[in-house]
Structure formats: structure tokens, C-alpha cells
Chains A and B, each alone.
Chain A
Amino acid sequence: METVLAILTGFMYAAGIYLILRRSLVKLIVGLIILGNGSNLLIFLLGGITRGNPPVIGENESMLTGIYADPLPQALILTAIVISFGLQAFAMVLLQREYVQGGVEDFDSIKEEEEAL
């Protein structure tokens, strides 16, 4: 399972960075989303994957015994998802405004307007 997830994470990072490097604004935002999800997956992966052992203390026990799944990475990912959701929503609106005002969807045609020198 770890191997599959590791390959998937690497693939998501690669795809995200590739899309960010493209000129299109839409591909940029898709790239940012994929990259963000890749890093969430990475936290999940590096937190250690344990199957079928929830961190719940049994009825007659006073502490956790044996191997159990670490709940912290999930809390971290949840926070990261919420944050990146807000940021990506902002970025999308920004790109939409840029498209409406500038009328272009291509990074190369966005040139900084020089003030009259």
C-alpha cells in the first residue's frame, strides 16, 4: 500500500508542477489544486499507514496497547484541506477577474503595462 501511495504522491507532485509551468491560466489553477492534494496525501503517507487499528482505548483497558493508527495526520490534513480550499477558491475568482478584465487566458500575453516613461 505504501509503495502505491508513494508512487501516486510523486505522480501528483509531478503533474501539479507540470501544469503550473504551462502557460494557460486554467491549467495553472488545476495544477495548484493537484499539487495541494499531493502534499495532503504525503502527510497521510508519512504519518504511517495502519489498517484496522483505530486509536480507541478498549473497554477494560486504561491505555492504548499495540500498534494503532496515528490520528494526528488526519487532523493536519483536514486543516490543510480547509485552508487550501479557501485559497483555491480565491485564486479561481482572481483568475476569472483577470480573464474578464484582460480578456486573455495565456500567461505570455499578460504583459506588465509600463507607465509612460
Chain B
Amino acid sequence: MTDNLLILPVIIQLVIAVISLFFWSRTNYQRLSSIVGNVIFLAVSFILFFYVKENGIMVSQGGNWPAPFGITFVLDLFSASMLVITGLSGLAVSIFTAGSMSRRRALFVFFPIYHFLLLGISGSFIAGDLFNLYVWFELIIIASFGLITLGGGRRQLEGALKYVTLNLVASTLFLTSIAFVYGLTGSLNLADLAVKIPEVENQDLVSIAALLFFVGLGIKTAVFPMYFWLPASYHTPMSAISAIFGGLLTKVGVYALIRVFSLFFLPDSYIGTVISAIAALTLIMGAMGAFIQKDVRKVFSWLIVCHIGFMIAGLGIFSTVALAGAVLYLFHDIIIKTNIFMVSGLLYRINGAHTFKFIGGLYEHYPKLSFLIAIPLFSLIGIPPLSGFWPKILLIEGGIQGFDYFIVAAILLGSFVTLVTIGKLWVTAVWSEQKQVKYVKHFIHFKQLSKAQRIAYVFPIAFLSVVSLFFGFGAFWMLDIANRIAEELINPELYIQSILQFQ
């Protein structure tokens, strides 16, 4: 297999997006091409993943220009596994929207924009160049702007306004940081920077660039002082879109942070402390926000903020154990956040509302569905054999080894408040009595859907639940992967060598 094939996932998404554009008004073809395309994407990602796992890093140099001069695409084990996870969530959301989205909504070209979004996401995983990463990020945000305003309801526009403004500011800061890095080193290739940044004389300027980078990506990732846009906008679009946003968008930021801060902006004592403190505060503030909300999707939005803290904490502690925990949590979080937003869509279809006051009676009327949604909800908390448990153990172990007791306390508090919040949600939605269904305009109840549509609602949730059950019960295998990734992140010599190819 030639290394240039690592670009295939990006090309597949591009082809699906273009094909769907040809079927502008025939939404059924769009639905079909979306599902089939994402199955192919997932299969290709799996092949690439196992290839990388066996044979090591794949590198493709654009136009065959040697590394620091051309555009480099890299696929190491970390990015390959991110592609697989993206494929899994992407496929689930494809099936969910193909079944649940009305023709009226799908006519707003949902499917092409969705695949452009996945194109940007998979592109940012294979980028081996800081500016290239920026371009992929811009592709992601322009597609996400399209999705968040889709349909154009008043509340959605207001949510979008905050989202768009903050993302534009974040991109500018990201670009500013890139300008600093280029000015200091004259290079933008990630591997080349790993060689050149330690040689820069003025290390204070490097710290400034690192912090600008952290702020720019931190806004996109929704870490402590910069997270306000997320709970203000993520509950406005339709559930399928919230699912892909909650699952993937903030996590791409986490991926980029882990990649860059483990490769060249190494967290020294100052930056490490800043990152750790921000992680702890993110955990605490997100947990408090989730605790007081009375709306399913707002609770989940705040929990996204809270759980970002776990991954940033792993980066702040910066040891092999903690990074393995952060990476494992990243995998678990993408799957589970996608899943719970689809669960919120299902609850809406059954209750006609998102607020706690109007939901209830799931166990009474749909006992099997309650068992199904128990899997994602309890995995989210991290109840022992389920998937959220293992990464937290690693993070706590890393925190204790690194004497970061404040972080350990914040992690425990974050987990505990998640438990309380989800417990409250569980009691309200599942165990309490059925409330009056709120029929609004265009609302179709779950019972009125055709059988195929009902399957399209339940199947993706079941699919992702099986994936997270695998993460939980196949933890040994997953730990193996995560440990290998963490080793590669801490000792990036192999990564640098295979890109620059000296000797």
C-alpha cells in the first residue's frame, strides 16, 4: 500500500459531498449516498488504522517536495484511530438524520454541508503542517456555521450569532499564533517545528505563541474562561446536528491541542500549570452549570464543557499514564457525546419537549428503550465496567503520580456531579410518570412514525452503545492502543524522523 493512500478518507468525504450536491432536491438519494459513503469511509479508516498499527507512520509529501518545504500529510496511530472514531460517529449520525430529518429540512442542503464538515474533520487529523491545520479548521467552522443556522429559526440565529463571532475571533488568534511561530522559526511543518522550536533563543516569545495558540484553540474547544458560547448555542439546532457538534467539533480542538503541546510547545512548568489550572476550573464550572439546568440538551451541553476538562487535565499532567487516559477519554467522549445528543432527539420525539417539566414515562411505555439509553447515560458517568471508567482511572493515577492533587479532586468532583445530574435526568425522564405530550407545529410523535423511521431513530443509538460497550469490556485492547499512542506522543522522535527523513 502506498503511503499516499492516507488521503483517501478526505477524498471519500469530498466525493460524497459533491454527489449529494447533484441531487439537490432528491433528498432520498442524498440520504442513501450519505449512509453508503460513510460506510465506505469507516471501512477505509479501519483498513488504514490496522495498516498503521502494523507498519508504523504513513507520510505523504504533497507534490513530492521533501518535508519542511512541501505540504505534509501524516497518519500516525493517534490520527488513524481518530479517523475510525469519526467514521463510527459519522455513520451513526448519517443513519439518524437519514431517518429522522424531514424533507423540508433536508432541502436546506443538510447532507452536502454535513459531509464537508466531516471532510474538514478528517483533514485536520492528517494535517502535518500548522497552516494546513488552520485551513482545515476554517473548513470545519464554515460548514458548522451552515449547519447551526440550518432552517433559520429565530432562536437558532441567536445561538449562531454567538457561535460565529467567537469562532471568528478564535481563528484570528490561531492565525496570530501561527504568525509568531513562523516569525520565530521560519517553518510551519509540525515535525520541523519540533526540531526548531527548542533552538529558538527567545523562549519567552515561544511561550507567548503557545499561550495564543492555547487561547485560540481553547475557544473552539470550550475550556474554562472561553466556554460561554457553547451552552448558549449547542441546544438550538436540531438534535442530529447537536450530536455531531457535541461529539466531534470540540474534540478536534482537543486533538490539535494534544498534538501541538506534545510535539513542540512542550508544557514547561509555567504552561503546564496554566493548562492544569484551566482543566480543573473547566471541570468545576462545567459541572456546576450542568447541575442547575432543567433542559435535557442544556444539561448535555454543559456536560460537554465539564468533560473537556478531563482531556485537558491529561495534557496538563503530561505523563505517559495521563496522556493515555486523555486519549482514551477522547475516544470514549466522541462516541458517547454523539450518542447522548441522539438520545435527546429520541426523548424529544417521545415527549415533544426538552425541558424536565414535560418529559417522563419512558420506562412505563418503552421499557426496552429505557434499557438501551441506560448504556450511553451510565457510560457517560463512568460506572465501572462501562467505557467512561477506564480513562478516569488512568487520569487519576497520572494525577497522583505527578502530585497534582488539585486536578485529582477536580476530576472526582466532575465525575460526581455528572453522576448526580444524570441521575436526576434518569429519574425525570425514565422513572417519573408520563406528562402531557406537547404538540407543537410540525411535531410528529414517535408512535406516528413508520417502522423504518423508528428503526432509524433507535438503530444508531444501539450501534454507538455497542461501540461504547466494546470500549468498556474490551478495555484491555483499548488500553494497549492508548498506551502506544501516549508513548508516541511523549517520545515523538519516530514521528519527526519519518517526516523529515534525515539519515
Contact = CB atoms under 8 A, between A and B. Distances in A.
Interface of A: 16, 20, 28, 32, 35-36, 38-40, 42-43, 45-48, 70, 72-73, 76, 79-80, 83-84, 86-88, 90-91, 94-95, 97-98, 101-102, 110, 112-113, 115, 117
B179 A28 contact: no
A83 B175 CA distance: 12
A97 B158 CA distance: 10
A30 to B, nearest CB: 12
B169 A94 contact: no
A16 B15 CA distance: 38
Given A46-B182, A117-B294, A83 B165 contact: no
A102 B165 contact: no
Contact of B157 (A40, A73, A97): A97
Contact of A83 (B138, B149, B152, B178): B138
Nearest to A28: B165
Contacts of B183: 45-48
Given A28-B165, A36-B172, A117-B357, A112 B182 contact: no
Given A35-B172, A94-B157, 18 more contacts: A20-B169, A28-B165, A32-B165, A32-B169, A36-B172, A39-B175, A42-B179, A46-B180, A86-B142, A91-B165, A94-B149, A98-B157, A98-B161, A102-B154, A115-B354, A117-B294, A117-B355, A117-B357
Given A20-B165, A32-B169, A97-B157, A90 B179 contact: no
Nearest to A46: B183
Contacts of A46: 179-180, 182-183
Contacts of A115: 295, 353-355
A83 B161 contact: no
Interface in B264-281: none
Contacts of A72: 182
A56 to B, nearest CB: 17
B458 interface: no
B77 interface: no
A87 B138 contact: yes
B176 A39 contact: yes
Contacts of A36: 168, 172
Given A87-B138, A102-B158, A112-B232, A43 B165 contact: no
